[in-house]
Structure formats: C-alpha cells, structure tokens
Structure 1
Amino acid sequence: MPLWSLLSTQVWGPGSVLLILVFLLRLSVQLWHKTQLWDLQHCPTDLTGKTAVVTGANSGIGKVVSQELARRGARVVLACRSRERGQRALAEIQAASKDASLLLGEVDLSSMASIRSFARWLLQECPEIHLLVNNAAVCGIPRTLTPEGLDLTFATNYVGPFLLTNLLQGALQRAGSARVINVSSSWQTQGYFDEEHLTGAGGPLTFNQNYFCSKLLLTSITGEFARRLQGTGVTVNSVEPGVVYTEIMRMLPLYYRFSFWISSFFIKDPTQGANPVLYLSLAKELDGISGKYFSRSCVIIPPAKAAQDPQVAQRLWNASVKLTNLDKVD
C-alpha cells in the first residue's frame, strides 16, 4: 500500500483529524489565557506577617488562592462549610508548603447564625485581617430555601459576603492596609436588581437567574463598601474569574454537568481561574484602588449598568442591613 494511502486511511481518518483539531483548539485557548492574564510568577509580593481569610477554600479557586497566599508567607484562614473537606484541603496545602501557617474555620455562608459564630471565633484568633477573599458560591440549582427562609443562592453568594465583610470591618481597619475581594461573575450582566429577591420574593426568575442576580448584587454592593470605607485603608473590589470548571457544577443536573465536562477541555481550570483573584490580592499597583470591577484579563471594566448606579447600591445596602439585623446591637 502506498505511503500516502496508509496515512490517509489510518492516521488521517476522521477520528484522528477531530482529535488533532481538539488538541490544537485546546492549545490555542491555553496560549490565549497566558497572554491575556497577569503573570503571577513575576509578582514579588511577600505576605509574611499578614493574615488572609478565604471563603470556600476547600476546593476550586479558593483552594488555589489559599495555597498561593500561604506559599507567600501569609497566615491563611480556610473558611469552609464542611470541616471534613476543609481538613483535607488544609492537609494538601500543608503538604505542598511545609512552612504554611493555616487555620481552619467552619462557616456556612448561607446561614447568618453560622457567619456570626464564625466571625466571633475569627476575631479572637485574628484581631487584624489584611485580606478577605469572598469566594464561596453555589450555582443556583436546585432552588431551595435556607432554615432562615432565604433563597440558598442569594444567601450564599450575596447575603453571606455582605454580613461577613461588615462583621470583620474592625479587624480589616486595624490592619492599617487591607483588601476585600468579591469574586463575581461575567454572568452578572444577565441579572437584574430586585431587593425582594433577598427574602425569596421578587420578580420571577428563569433558569439559573438567581445565580446571575446574586452576582449582580455582589458587584453592586462592592462599590457601596468602597464608598463607605474610603479613607480607612481598606479597599474593596470585585473580579470575574471567567468560566471555570470547578465543583460548583456538582449541583447541576447530569446533562449540564456532562456539558461542562465536555467544555472543560476549552475553559479554565481552577489554577487559571484563580489568577485574576490573586492579581487583586497581590499586585502592588492596586494599592489604594477601590470600588472597581476587574475582568478575567485583570483590567478594570464597567460592570452591568445596574451595578454602576449609586442609588441602587444605597437601596441594596439599606435592605441588606435590615435583613441581616446590622442596625441592631449584636
């Protein structure tokens, strides 16, 4: 059989061509990520003596961020819903960095009672906090209510970060210079503002729109936090990590999980998704920058229009204060 015939039938068959195309596409995506993102390896920031708190630290982006912060000398508090999974993550990070200083804190971001208990413990352990990464999130499916009567997605993705950041304000200000990073999503542009969603009411929501709206609220309140904390040394920014294949997908129906598994060849892994979050955590050029929304490429971009409106943010703040009882003595 001629050589060209052998190649065409055995090497360059449809299956082989498809595999090669998939490989080349995957390679191009990887190269694109590398050219678009800030280079972590060239960042000299040392965090020795600093304390960082990362929610959702037992897997995905949170785990990668925690490991890098610990590697740079920070004392890292892994804030996890599951103590068992948190212990596993702590052991893995400790194994990767023998000198890592780690604490494990148990907190369910969907529960205000759990957040208050965690904050009391944390403030005793860490009177000064230099970095708070509000990373923990759920995907929005299935639609369920918490024991406190809140939609699980809004409670975890928005109410939890709002309450925790407020409860830790004193420790953040005592640090002298501190950063709060809210991990948002590009899907916030698909959400809309309705403060009644916080209590399980509000306008009707289509498929996964509770996730989109919760991320819009988180982005909006970032600007309000920045305005209220101006001059305190605490900066607050939000960032979209891009589409990342993480365990947040585990609650989706099987056919959606399968779709994400197929697309995982072309979207970011947790290490790539953590890069924009680490940029906001570490980059010296961001000292003093507050109230901004950063893209997956580590540049400042405008968020959804509703998230740019200070009157909307003020209404959201007032509703959130009432919901979380922050206007009452704890």
Structure 2
Amino acid sequence: MEGKVCLVTGATSGIGLETARALARQGATVVLSGRDPGRGEAALAEVRRTVPDAKLDLMLADLTSLGSVRKLAQGFQARYSRLDVLLNNAGLMLDRRKVTPDGFEATFATNHLAHFLLTHLLLDVLKASGPARVVNVASEGHRMGSLDFLDDLQAERGGYSGMRVYGNSKLANILFTRGLKRRLEGTKVTTNSLHPGVVRTGFGLNSEGITKHLVKLAAPFMLSAEGGARTSVFLASSPEVEGVSGRYFIKSKVARESKAAQSDEAAETLWRKSAELTGVGA
C-alpha cells in the first residue's frame, strides 16, 4: 500500500481504528475521519503508538449532516490529488427515532445517505487514481431488512424498531454497492461490501434501551475490533480481489446476500431516491 491514499470513515474507534492501523502498517497514507476532535487526536496517537512511522491525517466530519459530508469531500480534495481506497465504515444504531438537521431518520442518514453522497463527491478522484476501491461495511443484519423501506425511508410508519431500521440501512449498503458497481463498469474502480462479524466495540452502546444491555451481555462472545477489521483490510488491499466488484464478503470470502439484496430493481429505486434526497445526479 506504499504510495496509496485511503480514507476511512468512523475511524476514531472500533473497526475503523483497527482498519486504519492495519492499512498504515502496510505503508498507506491513511486519512481518519470522525466527528470528535478529542477522539480523533487520541486515535492518531494510538495508531502511532504501534506504527511509529505511520502516515496519518485527521479530517473531522459529522455524518448526520450532509453539509458536513460535503465539507469533508471538499477538504479531502483540497489536500490530496488521489484516493486509492474509500472505506465507508461509520455506522449507527439507535433505539429511538431521531432526526438529523437535514430532516432524515438518523440511522438511515448516517449509515447510507452520508456514504452515498461522500462516494459520489469523491468519484472523480477515485476514477483518476484507478485502480481504486470503494469498500462498504454492511452487515448480516441486512437479512432483517425489508424492501418496504423503499417506500418508508424515514421509518415514520408504525412503531420504531432500532434493529429493523439498522437492518434496512445495511440492506441499503449492499444495494448501493450493487448500483455503484453497474455505474463503475468500464472504469478502474471496484466496489464491494462486507460483514465484519459480530464485533466487540462501542457500537450499540449509544442506544438507550435494551440494545445497549444486550450488547454488554454478548460482548465476551464477540470478535475483537482487530478481528472485525480483517475483511475490510482484505478488500482494501489484497491483490486477490483486484478487479472483483459488486460482491459481498464474510471472513474475506465471497458470500451470498439475502434475496432482497440481490434485486437490481431495488438497487436502482434506492439509487434514484438517494440521489433525490442528497441532491446529486442519478
């Protein structure tokens, strides 16, 4: 990865931090993105503790805000002329429905819309840097997702279920990968999605109800963050997946998505609606 530039969202803790560490260890310049300055600086120090010669940068962004996502893309392109790997890693799960400053349901906005927009804004620099890769961290939780979310993107109907909404957002990650793969044909940019495993990080602890307690109970049986980062690192750096695009991976192996995640029609419907919501061209 010497000479390559990687941007990792949600990189100040958990899987994102370990992904950044591993890519830095391979010699890449790694731009860590997170929303908290203190945690960001602590993450840089933590990576440098184990990789003293790491080439790192920190760029702050709040992915609940599309304006902040746009500033991240603009700031990145002002500093860097190339992007070899965009790793869309940041994720959120809530017990209660919350709305972003843009008026979107927060889980869907953070897990899907922010990365949809960021990828769109950085697509030209990715293409110019080819061969380049877009890696989307999804989840086996996508199997809980339902195509009904295409008609209720903001989770406004019925009772709010954090797990269901999270599953919908992860289904969106895979359908986004599917739609992006089609649009990248003929370029030197590939895109793949993955399930990191059930990982012991701070994820889910920002919930206020039963989810937080379930996460704590299950923690001893979960993967470490380092273990959870392995498939992300594999898809970002391994020559084994050079040219492979539009696939879903578990434990660094191609896996079969749910039937809902294999729908080209759903991928196109999601793309059109996401483009409309984020104000970009379809």
Question: Which 5+ residue runs of structure 1 have no aligned equivalent?
Answer: 1-46
Contact 1:149 1:199 in 2 (8 A): no
Corresponding residue for residue 65 of structure 2: 111
Stretch of structure 1 that moved more, 209-218 or 249-258 = 249-258
Q: 1:234 aligns with which of 171, 183, 189?
A: 189
Tell me the TM-score normalised to structure 1 length: 0.82
Which position in structure 1 is the counterpart of 2:152? 197
Query: Between Structure 1 and Structure 2, whose CA radius of gyration is higher?
Result: 1
- Secondary structure, in 3 states, of the residue corresponding to 1:300? strand
User: What CA distance in whole angstroms lies between the structure 1 residues aligned with 2:94 and 2:138?
Assistant: 14
Aligned residues: 281
Aligned to 1:132: 86
How many Å apart are 1:256 and its aligned residue?
Answer: 3.9
**In the aligned structure 2, how far is the partner of 1:202 from the partner of 1:167?**
31
Identical counterparts, % of pairs: 37
Report the CA distance between 1:202 and its aligned residue. 5.3
Instruction: Map Cα deviations across residues 41-74 of structure 1 (whole Å, 9 max, x no partner).
Output: xxxxxx1100000000000000000011111111
| Amino acid of the structure 1 residue aligned with 2:240 | E
Higher mean displacement: 280-289 or 198-207? 198-207
Once residues 319 and 56 of structure 1 are traced to their aligned partners in structure 2, the CA distance between those partners, rounded to angstroms, is: 24
Question: d(CA) in 2 for partners of 1:147 and 1:178?
Answer: 32
Tell me the amino acid that sits aligned with residue 96 of structure 1: T
What is the distance in 2 between the residues matched to 1:209 and 1:113? 27
Give the deviation of 1:113 after TM superposition.
0.4
1:256/1:210 CA distance change after superposition, 3 Å: closer
Question: Is the Cα–Cα contact under 8 Å of residues 155 and 198 in structure 1 kept in the other structure?
Answer: no
Deviation at 1:257, TM superposition (A): 3.1
Corresponding position: 1:146 with 2:87: no
Q: Distance in 1 between matches of 2:54 and 2:104?
A: 37
1:307 to partner: Cα distance: 1.3
- Distance in 2, Cα, partners of 1:131 & 1:245: 25
Per-residue displacement from partner, 1:6-43 (whole Å, max 9, x unpaired)? xxxxxxxxxxxxxxxxxxxxxxxxxxxxxxxxxxxxxx
Q: What SS does the aligned partner of 1:235 have? A: strand
4+ aligned runs moved over 6 Å, structure 1: none
| Counterpart selection for 2:248 from 288, 293, 303 | 293
Q: Distance in 2 between matches of 1:203 and 1:258?
A: 24
Taking the TM superposition and a 5 Å limit, the aligned residue runs for 1:167-206 are: 167-193=121-147, 194-201=149-156, 205-206=160-161
Q: CA RMSD in A?
A: 1.6
Q: How far did residue 262 of structure 1 move?
A: 3.0
Of residues 212, 219, 224, the one that matches 2:179 is: 224
Match of 1:166 among 116, 120, 124: 120
Query: In the aligned structure 2, how far is the partner of 1:197 from the partner of 1:135?
Result: 24
State the one-letter code of the partner of 1:89: A
Contact 1:154–1:197 under 8 Å retained in 2: no
Does 2:15 align with 1:68?
Answer: no
Selected match of 1:59 from 10, 13, 17: 13
Q: Specify which of 208, 214, 237 is matched with residue 259 of structure 1.
A: 214
Contact between 2:93 and 2:162, CA under 8 Å: does it hold in 1?
no
Partner Cα distance (2:55, 2:159) in 1? 46
Instruction: Specify the alignment match of 1:209 in structure 2.
Output: 164
Deviates more, 1:135-144 or 1:252-261: 252-261
Which AA in structure 2 matches 1:148? Answer: D
Unaligned residue ranges in structure 2 (runs of 5+)? none
Q: What is the CA–CA distance in structure 2 between the aligned matches of 1:56 and 1:206, rounded to whole Å?
A: 23
* Helix, strand or coil at the partner of 2:220: coil
Amino acid corresponding to residue 197 of structure 2 in structure 1: G
Deviation at 1:195, TM superposition (A): 2.4
2:221 aligned counterpart, secondary structure: coil
Q: Which amino acid aligns with 1:312?
A: A
